[in-house]
């Protein structure tokens, strides 16, 4: 249970310190940083999508720098094999010539795991992450190994260059709590980026939290209240992403092939609790749900051929769903 208001205030101060340290290195991208904090405090994984050079990798590394936890990076390439991620059994020879097997852990055994350009690996290699992301375990042969806690997969992908890439399968996408769009910086932000990156002084984020604090916050925020009518709103929002739902807006019926599954509403509620806490509230509002619906659902909607052909974006579909609920239609 959440101990007291003093405890919540202490957590809020710790999160603000993390945010401040990230701001020492990363210019702008406040919305992206905020959504990554939602993901981290909700105990989920994030998929960051943006064109090259926007600092996605640097952002993930900076967040890892603010917390006293291990960090590992996996550069996904077409020739990457599952064992390169999970690890493998290696043979050891004893003094008398006897042989034994020892499990050599792969880079997935880290607290923060950066899966860089995840869509460049083959589906077979991508699937090596499925068990790790859902069960937080790795099975090699007949042995199952537990991953460290807390455990976050923060993946990046480039939406432009599709040659030599393998689109993430639906099951893989569904394991990500949020899909975050990394946007292009403004003119003033570009100037600041140039000044920071060409200066002789290198800015580094300092460690201001540890794994124990993160686990404590994650458990505590689960007790943020969700009223019955707010939960009904979340469920209806999810149902209205399905084209067969009678109350779904016209855009959904026309352009969506499949709506979001149950993990969509689970993600919205979990992330809304974090958003409410960061706003100084101890109950979830419908406004929280409307705000988190975009990163929580955009990778869980699957457009039909017509929607893809004319370039309909999942965000425009979510906007239509949220608007239909707000207007009472």
For residue 329, name the pLDDT band (cuts at 50, 70, 90).
Answer: very low
Are residues 145 and 105 in contact, defined by beta-carbon separation less than 8 angstroms? yes
Query: What is d(CA 292, CA 194) in angstroms, rounded to the nearest whole number?
Result: 32
Longest pairwise C-alpha distance within the chain: 78
**Which CATH number is 315's domain given?**
1.10.8.80
Neighbour count for residue 13 (Cβ, 10 Å): 10
Query: What is d(CA 315, CA 329) in angstroms, rounded to the nearest whole number?
Result: 19
Neighbour count for residue 270 (Cβ, 10 Å): 24
Say whether both 236 and 275 belong to one domain.
yes
Say whether both 219 and 75 belong to one domain.
yes
Say whether both 148 and 262 belong to one domain.
no
pLDDT of residue 328: 60
Domain residue limits at 70: 1-79+109-223
Say whether both 286 and 181 belong to one domain.
no
Q: For 17-42, what is the mean pLDDT?
A: 87
Mean pLDDT computed over every residue of the chain: 86
Total domains present in the chain:
2
pLDDT of residue 253: 92
Among 191, 223, 255, the domain-final residue is 223
Are residues 40 and 213 in contact, defined by beta-carbon separation less than 8 angstroms? no
**Which CATH number is 185's domain given?**
3.40.50.300
Task: Tell me the pLDDT tens digit for each residue of 52-85.
Answer: 777 788 888 888 888 888 888 999 888 888 888 8
Among 177, 194, 223, the domain-final residue is 223
Residue with more model confidence, 99 or 291: 291
Say whether both 246 and 201 belong to one domain.
no
Say whether both 229 and 210 belong to one domain.
no
pTM: 0.87
Residue (of 164, 88, 80, 85) closest to 131 by Cα position: 85
Task: Tell me the pLDDT tens digit for each residue of 191-245.
Answer: 887 887 777 777 787 888 888 888 888 888 888 899 999 999 999 999 999 999 9
Say whether both 196 and 234 belong to one domain.
no
């Amino acid at each position: 249970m959440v101990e007291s208001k003093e405890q919540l205030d202490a957590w809020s101060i710790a999160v603000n310190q993390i945010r401040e340290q990230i701001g020492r290195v990363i210019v702008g991208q406040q919305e992206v940083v905020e959504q990554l904090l939602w993901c981290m405090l909700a105990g989920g994984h994030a998929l960051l999508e943006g064109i090259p050079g926007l600092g996605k990798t640097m952002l993930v590394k900076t967040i890892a720098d603010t917390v006293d936890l291990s960090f590992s990076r996996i550069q996904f390439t077409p020739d990457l094999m599952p064992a390169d991620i999970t690890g493998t059994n290696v043979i050891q020879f004893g003094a008398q010539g006897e042989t034994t097997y020892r499990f050599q852990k792969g880079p997935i055994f880290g607290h923060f795991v950066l899966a860089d350009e995840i869509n460049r690996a083959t589906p077979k290699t991508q699937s090596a992450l499925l068990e790790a992301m859902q069960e937080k375990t790795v099975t090699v042969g007949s042995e199952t190994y537990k991953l460290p806690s807390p455990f976050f997969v923060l993946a990046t992908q480039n939406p432009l260059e599709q040659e030599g890439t393998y689109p993430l399968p639906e099951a893989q996408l569904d394991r990500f709590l949020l899909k975050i769009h990394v946007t292009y910086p403004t003119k003033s932000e570009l100037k600041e980026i140039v000044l920071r990156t060409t200066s002789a002084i290198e800015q580094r984020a300092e460690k201001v939290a540890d794994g124990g604090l993160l686990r404590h916050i994650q458990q505590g925020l689960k007790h943020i209240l969700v009223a019955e009518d707010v939960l009904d709103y979340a469920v209806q929002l999810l149902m209205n992403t399905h084209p067969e739902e009678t109350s779904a807006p016209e855009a959904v019926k026309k352009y969506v092939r499949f709506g979001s599954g149950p993990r969509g509403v689970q993600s919205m509620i979990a992330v809304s609790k974090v958003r409410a806490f960061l706003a100084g509230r101890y109950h979830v509002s419908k406004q929280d749900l409307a705000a988190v619906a975009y990163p929580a659902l955009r990778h869980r909607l699957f457009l039909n051929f017509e929607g893809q052909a004319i370039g309909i974006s999942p965000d425009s579909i979510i906007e239509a769903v949220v608007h239909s609920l707000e207007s009472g239609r």
